[in-house]
Amino acid sequence: MAGYQYPLRADWSTEEIVKVVDFFTKVEQAYESNIERDEFMKYYRAFKSVVPSMAEEKTLCKEFEESSDYVAFRVVKAAKESQPGELLKVKK
């Protein structure tokens, strides 16, 4: 387990918490090794089902970045700019 906290909200259900934690775990994976673009996008879509607001997404990602030094926006941007089947590898 990571040595930092994931940004969570008290009003989320267990299922929603799992989706958000899974997304941030995949962000970590993109930095630490790599992740297939389509797999990452599946987790990003699940995250967006919990956090549809762009403002809240930015807030959560900023909280995650402050505690982990991983920038979720970079991984999302790389995924959106890549082709299906490509591997994502993001450098700090």
List the domain boundaries for the chain.
14-84
The CB-side HSE value for 36 (13 A sphere, CA atoms) comes to: 5
Question: How many CB atoms neighbour CB 89 within 10 A?
Answer: 14
pLDDT digits (tens, 9 = 90+) for 7-27: 999 999 999 999 999 999 999
Q: Which residue has the tokens 């906290």?
A: 5
Task: Give one word for 71, left, alpha or beta, with left for phi > 0 and alpha for psi -120 to 50.
Answer: beta
Biggest alpha carbon–alpha carbon distance for the chain = 36
Which 8-state DSSP code applies to residue 86?
Answer: P
- Residues 59-82, mean pLDDT to the nearest whole number: 96
Q: pLDDT band at residue 92, thresholds of 50, 70 and 90?
A: confident
pLDDT digits (tens, 9 = 90+) for 42-64: 999 999 999 999 999 999 999 99
| CATH code, residues 14-84 | 1.10.220.80
pTM (2 d.p.): 0.94
Q: Which residue has the tokens 């997304």?
A: 23
